[in-house]
Each structure stands twice: as C-alpha cells, then as structure tokens.
Chain A
Amino acid sequence: EPEVTQTPSHQVTQMGQEVILRCVPISNHLYFYWYRQILGQKVEFLVSFYNNEISEKSEIFDDQFSVERPDGSNFTLKIRSTKLEDSAMYFCASQRAPAGRGPNEQFFGPGTRLTVL
C-alpha cells in the first residue's frame, strides 16, 4: 500500500542553523500539508501546498519557514534559522485530488522529530 515517507526520522540541530525536512508524498496525490506537534500539545497546521504554490499558511508559518517541491516527488519544509521553540514533531500529509465534491482523506507520514539545542 502506498505511503507517505519522511526523512530524517530525527534531526538534532543547533539554534540558528538551517534545517530541511523532507517528505515523499503518495505519487498520485496533488495536495500537500505540513503540520507540527510540540511535545505534549495538539497537532497544528503549518501550511498547505498545491500546484507548486502555497494555498494557505498559518500564523506560525513566518518568514523563517519555506516549502517547495523541487523535483516533482519530494516536498520539503525549510526552517532558515531554527529557534528552541521550533523543537517539535513535524508531519507531512498528502491528499489526492477530489473525485467530485467532497473532502478527501489525508495520509500522514511518520514524522520527523526536530530537536533544537
């Protein structure tokens, strides 16, 4: 069964460093999302992406964050200058195009645990 994959599973970095989190969505999916979960808190929406551009972003997704789909398969989240408060589990999700009117299931990757020291 197709699945969303994410790498690395765990990333440790120093404050101020840049990190790139990678996701490979399911191949025929067209809508992509990043969510994050700070330890002990609920999952929060960061950004949605379709047709090579951001569809929507949350107030968390400030200028330090960027997303791109560089090669038609990978979907990346870059944090330019990490802060301590960026430590969280980051989840990628993908979703196929709607067959008609109506919502679709989102498929989640296993997550990348980012630790900023």
Chain B
Amino acid sequence: KNEVEQSPQNLTAQEGEFITINCSYSVGISALHWLQQHPGGGIVSLFMLSSGKKKHGRLIATINIQEKHSSLHITASHPRDSAVYICAASPHSDNFGNEKLTFGTGTRLTIIP
C-alpha cells in the first residue's frame, strides 16, 4: 500500500517569496501528480511527472524517483496562489488507464500581500 506524505501541512509566506512544498511516497509509482484545491473545493491538475522536472509559468515540479520524493516550487508567490496543494501518486502498473490515485493530506498555502 502506498503512503503519500506531504510537508509542511500549513505554510504562510509574504508575497514574492519562493515557496517549496515537499512530497514523499513509499512504493514505486508510475507518476506523481500535483493538484491545486481552491477554497470552494474544486481540484485542478497542475502537473503529472514521471521523471525530471516540469515548469508552467511560476510553478515548477521536480521528482527524484530513486529517493521517492517530489517538490513543487512557486516563484514570486502571489496572494492568488493561496490554495491547498495536494500531491497524489499513480500506482506502478501495467494496467495504464486504471490509475487510482493515492493522495497526500495537502499543504495549505497562504500568501500575504
């Protein structure tokens, strides 16, 4: 059974700061997903990573498969980045397409103007 751990649980920072959220998982995976959950509850997919690094705007996600660890970075943080960020793991499987996600507990990020 895969366990997905995130840290920190809560993070408050000043606008403009560089943000890092960490995620570790316990067993082999096919991909690591970073998701954003807005105050209303909706979930948006930010990244899906199998290796290396991906960048989208001010967001950067990295993964180290050997260490079973991923990070989400936000550069030049802004109050609109305030949300819950969740990492979730897809299991290692030959049955691609049936990829139930195992979720971390989420990191609540608050950016103060």
Which residues of A are at the interface with B, using a C-beta cutoff of 8 A? 30-31, 33, 35, 37, 41-45, 48, 50, 55-56, 58, 89, 91, 95, 97-98, 101-108, 110-111, 113
> Do residues A102 and B44 form an inter-chain contact, with CB atoms below 8 A?
no
**B97 contact set on A, CB distance < 8 A:** 30-31, 50, 95, 97-98, 104
**Known contacts A43-B88, A103-B90, A113-B41; is-contact A31 B98 (Cβ 8 Å):** yes
**A56 contact set on B, CB distance < 8 A:** 98, 100
Which residues of B are at the interface with A, using a C-beta cutoff of 8 A? 30-31, 33, 35, 40-45, 48, 50, 86, 88, 90, 95-106
Question: 18 A-B residue contacts at CB 8 Å?
Answer: A31-B98, A35-B101, A35-B103, A43-B86, A44-B103, A48-B99, A50-B98, A58-B100, A95-B97, A97-B97, A98-B96, A101-B96, A102-B50, A103-B31, A104-B97, A105-B48, A110-B40, A113-B41
Chief secondary structure at chain A's binding surface: strand
Cα distance A58–B41 in the bound complex, in angstroms: 22
Cα distance A13–B41 in the bound complex, in angstroms: 20
**A89 contact set on B, CB distance < 8 A:** 41
**Known contacts A102-B30, A103-B90, A108-B43; is-contact A42 B103 (Cβ 8 Å):** yes
**Known contacts A107-B45, A110-B41; is-contact A43 B98 (Cβ 8 Å):** no
Given A43-B101, A45-B100, A55-B98, 19 extra CB contacts under 8 A: A30-B97, A41-B105, A42-B105, A42-B106, A43-B86, A43-B88, A91-B43, A95-B99, A101-B96, A102-B31, A103-B90, A104-B99, A105-B33, A105-B45, A105-B48, A106-B99, A106-B101, A110-B40, A111-B43
